[in-house]
């Protein structure tokens, strides 16, 4: 290993010993990490910030404190507890992985990144993070914070995502054989408190003297990012039917679809064309009121505009639909999109 890499490791680990963040899923200094807690936190953190996960993690862990509890829980309960974190495929995969671990691995996690990657929902980053943090393996755990620190330390000027391969190779070279988990957590902490996006706080950085980005005066501009293509737009219609018992009609989305197994307002497909629906399927005689403005919702790969139509009826017009009390909607695994649509339709 080059001398500089050894020096950077040492400085960063010393900094970590003094400045580590106290996080509910993180083992205290000298304690063993719990692979289950590390796994849940890493899945939650994939698309969310630490402050948001701080809110959801304790609630999730108090309901499912052990792998067995999660494996034996109904999927619906897991989805309800996941509400607010978005990207529900992660919760479905996590539930599936818990069942595989419980039934086929006697409740034990594989201790290598390769073994972990065989489980649903565990990709390269998550496998590397669990292997390093929970099992002390010399694997690479490169999240956005680590990417930023490495791009600056080594003055990587190629833009992301194209430079990921180069950053990964650098991460591989700098990963220590001992305390790998602490090292990646140190870089994560450094990236979120010192080497922050925008203007880094280099005066507080333990690697200041070894940072090529700082030496070249380009640190704040790194990592560069390739220009994003504008997201495509999709269009759809959702139908809100209220009965005289204060209930609305809901249905469950197909398991393999986007937001699969979640509950929704009966809806059309989401198309690229904005086709105007003249009447709702199944109830042509109802008086449908079009709700002004509809709702807009941004997904990762497209923006959706949903027109909303509302009507009163006691007939269960969609055969797979079911009635649910408006006051108890919080018990349902309802995606944010449909929560917004229901709020808007009920308001007016
Ligand atoms: Fe980041 Fe500055 Fe440290 Fe370089 S010296 S790693 S830019 S905080």
> How far apart, in whole angstroms, are the C-alpha atoms of residue 28 and residue 84?
28
Rounded to whole angstroms, the maximal C-alpha distance in the chain is: 79
Q: 345: which residues sit within 8 A by CB, 6+ positions away?
A: 240, 291, 308, 310
Q: How far is the CA of 207 from the centre of ligand 1 (A)?
A: 7
Q: In the prediction, which pLDDT does 107 show?
A: 95
Comparing C-alpha atoms, which of 67, 76, 14, 55 is closest to residue 263? 76
Contacts 24+ apart (CB under 8 A), 112-120: 112/137, 112/139, 113/137, 113/139, 120/93, 120/94, 120/96
Beta carbons within 8 Å of 203's beta carbon, 6+ residues apart: none
Measuring from each residue's beta carbon to the nearest atom of ligand 1, which residues come in under 6 Å?
A: 149, 152-153, 194-195, 200, 202, 205, 207-208, 211, 213-214, 219
Mention every residue, 6+ apart, whose C-beta is less than 8 A from residue 264. 238, 250, 251, 252, 253, 334, 335, 338
Distance 235 CA to ligand 1 centre (A): 44
Residue 2: per-residue pLDDT:
59
CA-based end-to-end distance of the chain: 66
pTM (2 d.p.): 0.81
pLDDT, residue 276, reads 65
Of 19, 213, 220, the one to substitute when testing ligand 1's pocket (max ligand atoms within 8 A of C-beta) is 213
The tokens of 96 are what? 């599936």
Specify the pLDDT at position 316.
Answer: 66
Mutate to test the pocket of ligand 1, among 154, 174, 193, 195 (most ligand atoms within 8 A of CB): 195
List the chain pLDDT tens, one digit each, 348 residues. Answer: 557 889 999 999 999 999 999 999 999 988 899 999 999 999 999 878 899 999 999 999 999 999 999 999 999 999 999 988 888 889 999 999 999 999 999 999 999 999 999 999 999 999 999 999 999 999 999 999 999 999 999 999 999 999 999 999 999 999 999 999 999 999 999 999 999 999 999 999 999 999 999 999 999 999 999 998 899 999 999 989 899 999 999 988 887 778 888 899 988 888 877 766 545 555 546 678 899 999 999 988 899 999 999 988 887 666 678 899 999 988 888 888 999 999 999 987
Residue 282's pLDDT is 57
Which protein residue has the closest C-alpha to ligand 1 atom 5? 208
Verify whether residue 227 is a known catalytic residue. Answer: no
The Å distance, Cα 31 to ligand 1 centre, comes to: 29
Instruction: Dump the DSSP string for 102-161.
Output: HHHSTTPPPSSHHHHTTSTT--HHHHHHHHHHHH--------HHHHHHHHHHTT--SPBT
Distance of alpha carbon 231 from alpha carbon 7, whole angstroms: 43
């Amino acid at each position: 290993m080059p001398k500089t890499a050894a020096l950077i490791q040492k400085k960063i680990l010393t900094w970590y010993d003094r400045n580590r963040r106290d996080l509910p899923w993180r083992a205290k200094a000298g304690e063993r990490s719990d692979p289950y807690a590390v796994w849940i936190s890493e899945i939650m953190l994939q698309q969310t910030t630490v402050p948001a996960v701080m809110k959801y993690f304790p609630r999730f862990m108090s309901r499912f404190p052990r792998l067995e509890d999660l494996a034996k829980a109904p999927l619906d309960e897991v989805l309800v507890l996941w509400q607010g974190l978005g990207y529900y495929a992660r919760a479905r995969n996590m539930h599936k992985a818990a069942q595989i671990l419980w039934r086929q691995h006697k409740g034990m996690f594989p201790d290598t990144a390769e073994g972990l990657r065989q489980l649903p929902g565990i990709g390269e980053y998550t496998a590397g993070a669990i292997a390093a943090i929970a099992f002390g393996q010399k694997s690479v755990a490169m999240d956005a914070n680590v990417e930023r620190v490495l791009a600056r330390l080594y003055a990587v000027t190629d833009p992301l995502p194209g430079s990921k391969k180069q950053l990964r190779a650098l991460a591989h070279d700098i990963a220590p054989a001992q305390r790998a988990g602490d090292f990646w957590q140190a870089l994560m902490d450094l990236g979120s408190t010192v080497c922050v996006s925008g203007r880094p706080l280099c005066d507080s950085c333990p690697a200041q003297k070894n940072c090529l980005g700082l030496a070249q005066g380009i640190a704040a501009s790194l990592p560069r990012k390739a220009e994003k293509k504008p997201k495509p737009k999709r269009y759809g219609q959702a139908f809100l039917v209220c009965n005289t018992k204060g209930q609305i009609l809901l249905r469950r989305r197909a398991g393999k679809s986007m937001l699969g197994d979640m509950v929704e307002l009966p809806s059309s497909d989401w198309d690229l064309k904005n086709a105007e629906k003249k009447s709702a399927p199944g109830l042509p005689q109802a008086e449908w009121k079009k709700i002004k403005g509809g709702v807009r919702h941004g997904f990762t790969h497209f923006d959706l505009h949903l027109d909303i139509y509302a009507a009163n009826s006691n007939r269960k017009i969609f055969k797979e639909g079911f009635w649910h009390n408006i006051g108890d909607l919080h018990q349902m695994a309802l995606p944010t999109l449909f929560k917004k649509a229901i709020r808007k339709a009920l308001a007016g």
